[in-house]
């Protein structure tokens, strides 16, 4: 079983490399199989279609985000906004690979919204987590939406913010969460 899991990860690694080189639109199963060093049949055992492979890539990106967020949660002092802080800091930390992959997959997903189901599910769970945190939901959602907007503008290459201003914005978001935790707002 571990061998199959390793093969699947190897295929996903190759697919990411192809997307970084060529973009998700031009990615093909043949190119990914060659890059992964597996037969096309071996690739298709795990991902029978390009759409399935893209879905697998999105799911892995989401798993990685949550693993990174969980690692950061351990470094943040306890409080109602701990998960929200960790999510914002994880989403907005510089990550060229995630930004390039995200943009490329977003382009493909624009033509096949079903690929975004995993991300929609994540956002629904995020909303539930915010509601359960005890923070003012509307204010927490506004902070979260600001984070999403900043991340998307960075991904699309439209962000006018310098790294130092982006850091100040992130610090302000964290401060706003701490104010919500303390009941000041």
Tokens 């190759």 label which residue?
14
100 with 167, same domain? yes
Residue 136 neighbours by CB under 8 Å, 6+ apart? 180, 185
Q: In terms of domains, do 78 and 138 share one?
A: yes
Closest CA relative to residue 103, chosen from 62, 51, 155, 64 = 155
For the chain, the domain total comes to 2
Q: Which domain holds residue 178?
A: 55-182
> What was the pLDDT predicted at 85?
93
Residues 162 and 71 in one domain: yes
| CA distance linking residue 119 with residue 108, whole number of Å | 14
Best mean pLDDT range from 66-70, 129-133, 142-146, 150-154: 142-146
- Nearest alpha-carbon partner for 121 in 68, 22, 55, 43: 55
What's residue 3's pLDDT? 63
**Which SS3 state, helix, strand or coil, does residue 35 take?**
helix
Residues 36 and 67 in one domain: no
* 62 and 136 co-located in one domain: yes
Q: What pLDDT digit, counting tens, does each position of 10-54 carry?
A: 999 999 889 888 888 888 999 999 999 999 999 999 999 998 998
Q: Give the domain CATH number at 84.
A: 1.10.357
Looking at the structure, tell me whether residues 38 and 60 fall in a common domain. Answer: no
φ, ψ of residue 25 in degrees (nearest 5): -65, -40
pTM: 0.81
Same domain for 125 and 63: yes
* CATH number for the domain harbouring residue 8: 1.10.10.60
Residues 97-122, mean pLDDT to the nearest whole number: 78
Residues 110 and 34 in one domain: no
Residues 110 and 31 in one domain: no
* pLDDT, mean of residues 3-12: 83
Q: Is the domain of 8 the same as that of 85? A: no
Nearest to 46 by CA among 19, 9, 16: 9
pLDDT at 147: 93
Q: Are residues 125 and 163 in the same domain?
A: yes
Distance CA 1, CA 13 (A): 18
Check whether residue 23 and residue 106 sit in a common domain.
Answer: no
């Amino acid at each position: 079983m571990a061998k199959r899991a390793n093969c699947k990860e190897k295929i996903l690694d190759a697919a990411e490399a192809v997307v970084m080189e060529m973009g998700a639109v031009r990615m093909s199963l043949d190119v990914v199989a060659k890059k992964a060093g597996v037969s096309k049949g071996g690739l298709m055992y795990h991902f029978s279609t390009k759409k399935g492979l893209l879905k697998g890539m999105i799911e892995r990106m989401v798993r990685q985000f949550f693993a990174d967020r969980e690692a950061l949660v351990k470094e943040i002092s306890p409080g109602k906004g701990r998960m929200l802080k960790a999510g914002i800091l994880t989403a907005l930390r510089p990550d060229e690979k995630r930004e390039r992959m995200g943009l490329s997959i977003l382009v493909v997903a624009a033509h096949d919204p079903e690929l975004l189901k995993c991300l929609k599910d994540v956002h629904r769970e995020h909303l539930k987590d915010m509601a359960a945190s005890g923070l003012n939901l509307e204010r927490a959602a506004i902070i979260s939406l600001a984070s999403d907007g900043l991340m998307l503008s960075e991904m699309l290459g439209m962000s006018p913010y310098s790294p130092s201003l982006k850091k100040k914005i992130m610090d302000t978001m964290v401060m706003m969460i701490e104010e919500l935790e303390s009941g000041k707002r």
